A and B are shown apart, each in its own frame.
Chain A
Amino acid sequence: MDRLSRRTMLRLAGLAGVAGVSAACGATATPAPVATTAPTVTQAEPTAAPTAPAQTKQKGELRFIKLAMGDPVTQYFEKTAIPTFQEANPGVTVTVDMSDWGHLGEKLLTSFAGNVPVDLVETGSDWVGPYAARKQFMPLDDMIAKDYQEEIKDFYPDMVEISRYSGKLSGLPYVLDIRTMTYRKDQFEEAGLDPSTGPDTWDDLVSYASKLVQTDSGGNITRAGYLLSAASPTDAVFEYWYLLVQNGVDIVVPWGSWNTDDVKLETPEAKEALQFMIDLINKYKISPITGMSTKNPDLSALAEGIASMCTQGSWIVGNFKLYSPDLLPVLGVGKPLMKKARKQYACPNVYAIGSNTKTPELAWELMKHMVSKDIMTGMLAPENNSPPRKSIAADADYMQDPLLKLWQQIPENGWGTTTPQATEWPTIENIGNYIQAALRQEMTVDEALSKAAADTKRRIEELVAATGAA
């Protein structure tokens, strides 16, 4: 082979440069925004004017990273929630930095890396553990002991404790993402089922869904008996996780353990839950593996009539009120299903204070303001979201809707739980890919759960090694 000429060498060097830059760009590419799992925008409800928050003597600027909201909530947030705090605290400016779930991790990462203060951030309570383990969120215990001991009694204790890591509380809940069985009463009646109650057990689910499912002449499902979406890893893992906790286990048991021996994805209960999920799709054929898409993106699958049952949060009530109010009377709300335990997802979004805040006292004042009864009510009412405060659940005008009260029975009865503290969201999404593989019969149940367990253990080990979490 001839030696490379100088010109060729230069061309090679140029190509190497291009490849290097390209590889580096690829590694750091910032993705475009994606849709969040935030609740659907729903009808606004007038709320009482908030009482003025306690005035502080401090001055300064606070950076508040807030998750994206629907229009009516944004309006309340921008025109009432933040201005009332600033008016009560002259000299304090709140800068709001909006994010979506997809970019929250990146925003926090760059904030801590660049030491840009995270004075207040809204996140999921299931994010708190790892962030607290990395010492990125401030413990709130001293501040609560100082002036919040009475007020915190108004929160559902379970929903507060979710944000406790290593004995210290690092977040206060502001909204509950509670899910339960929802269904169409009219379709129940047509199928000869009792519309006053939803399915109670896994067996009921199969029996009801089999009667409700509809197909076209080609055998394609046109109405899911129970909408079991496995279209994305997130959807798939959520649906699996519901069954997992109802079958008496969780990804990690006990919930707050960071011990990899406590990963329970290879237990008989976990395998039974996955096999049941596979059967719902492949054996009982009550839902297509692709889920069901609505023609009108504003409508839920229940409102559009392409599903008879699905697991949903209380925001679906708001969605019906806004986009299909005539169908509200046929919306049924059931209890979480029972196998070995009656459990469902109940995960608060919380406010946390970043450990790099330069004004912790001011940040605490802003947090208290945002979780105050008035402001919380104003923020939750427009979308009919579930409150973490008992007094709001009992007294707020919007919560007088009997449908919404059915969601509150989940935290009130201790049926709520959330994904384990040691499993960060990417780890859970990763499990979702293995669930998808099993559903598509590309892996056996044993193989999928064994690989999912191995990955989960490795991620927890890495986190423990990096943070010393325990």
Chain B
Amino acid sequence: MALVASRALPAAQPKRKRKLITTQERAAIVFVSPLMVLLLVYWIIPSLASLYYSLTNYSVVLPSKWVGLSNFGRLAGDVLFWRSLKNSAYFTLGSIPFGIAIGLLLAIVVNSALHARNFFRIVFYLPGVTSTIALSMVWLWLFDPHFGLLNAGLRLLGLPPMQWLQSTSQAMPSIVLMSVWGGVGGTMIIYLAGLQGIPSHLYEAAEVDGADSLQRFRYITLPSLQPVTLYVLVTAIIGSFQIFGPIYAMTDGGPAFATTTIVHQIYINGFRYFSMGYAAAQSWVLFLLLLGLSIVNLRLQVFGFSGD
């Protein structure tokens, strides 16, 4: 204190000019700039370019003409686009609830004092690290109406064989089945991390209060996993609206357009018909749709679940 008091402050010290960029800031820019350049080149510029192309009849190999909003107008009357939207929504609604429920269930199982739980964690996660195309090839055989394992099982049970991917009513549920099986391991891992982050004293306190296991799950586990569920839900919606690999490899959108999805239609228009402008317009509609769904999810979380 004496030391401070002994130091006389200059009566009228001139204001020190602040440097435009400090050394620290300069260092930050140097470290961040490679990533920013990559983002600019591979994300921002292509995204803006695709927005521009969506307003043209760009077909890569021919000179493009400005067509304004006509690509978006054409979408309104494109029966296949609406069919693909419906199919994508069907896939999303079919796969996400099952994927989340089974993923959570598996996470709880492998989080318990199960014997050889590491083995099961690996086994359940394995499909998630396998190539989509490899999985699709295997499932093509499983779904084969004549020699497939699934129909062999049905016959053993005395049930009639199913057409699976060959039926317009069964093709999308078949792809949902395969996708849930393939994706549930990833969901399980995320939930497992969430479960391990719940403080154990909450369970101990609930036990002292006489809560049974169902009540502990209902009032401690589920609310604690709410941010994890939000993350899983948002990424699952984005992922499922973008389903493409299994569709391309297993059905190519058939039979009779029963499995064509938005991204499949984008691919068909862009890379088979060379209608890149129209495909870009479809991509932007998909982007806006996903953005909207993500916002709704967040609002639900922020103002709904948390009771804000």
Residues in chain A within 8 A of chain B (CB atoms): 1-2, 8, 11-12, 15-29, 31-34, 105-106, 109, 112-113, 134, 136, 218, 220, 230-233, 236, 288-290, 292-293, 295, 424-426, 429, 432-434, 436-437, 440, 442-443, 451, 459, 462, 466-467
Which among B146, B256, B272 has the greatest number of chain A C-beta atoms within 10 A? B256
B145 within 8 A of A: yes
Residues of B within 8 A of A32 (CB): 131-133, 245, 248-249
Q: A24-B283, A109-B274 are in contact. Are A19 and B263 (CB under 8 A)?
A: no
Please, could you name 29 A-B residue pairs with CB atoms under 8 Å apart, sorted by A?
Answer: A11-B298, A19-B238, A20-B291, A22-B290, A23-B284, A24-B50, A26-B262, A27-B283, A28-B270, A29-B245, A31-B249, A32-B132, A105-B272, A109-B61, A109-B274, A218-B160, A231-B255, A232-B254, A289-B166, A293-B145, A424-B272, A424-B273, A425-B272, A429-B252, A432-B254, A436-B256, A442-B168, A462-B275, A466-B57
| Chain A CB within 10 Å, residue with most, of B50, B248, B290 | B290
Check A2–B308 contact: CB distance below 8 A: yes
Judging by beta carbons under 8 Å apart, are A31 and B245 in contact?
yes
Residue B211 interfacial (CB < 8 Å): no
Contact B59 A466 (CB under 8 A): yes
* B43 in the interface (beta carbon within 8 A): yes
> In the bound complex, do residue B50 and residue A112 qualify as a contact, i.e. CB atoms below 8 Å apart?
no
User: B280 contacts which chain A residues (CB < 8 A)?
Assistant: 27
Across-interface contacts of A16 in B (CB, < 8 A) = 291, 294
Q: Contact: B47 with A24, CB < 8 Å? A: yes
Check A109 against B294 for contact (C-beta < 8 Å): no
Assembled-state Cα–Cα distance A20/B274 (Å): 22
The answer to whether A293 and B147 have CB atoms under 8 Å apart is yes
CA distance A440 to B146 in the complex (A): 18
The answer for the CA separation of A1 and B132 in the assembled complex, in Å, is 42
B266 at interface by CB-CB < 8 Å: yes
A433-B256 contact, Cβ under 8 Å, with A19-B287, A23-B242: yes
Interface code B253-295, partner A: CB below 8 Å = 1, 0 otherwise? 1111100001100111011111100011011101100110011
Give bound CA distance, A1 to B299, whole Å: 10
User: Complex: how many Å from CA A410 to CA B5?
Assistant: 111
Q: Are the C-beta atoms of A436 and B238 separated by less than 8 Å?
A: no
A462's contact among B249, B273, B284, by CB below 8 Å, is which? B273
Task: Report how far A181 CA is from B238 CA in the complex, Å.
Answer: 48
CA–CA, A379 and B197, complex, Å: 64
Given A15-B234, A24-B46, A26-B242, A2-B146 contact (CB < 8 Å):
no
Residues of B within 8 A of A24 (CB): 43, 46-47, 50, 283, 287
Q: Check A31–B272 contact: CB distance below 8 A.
A: no
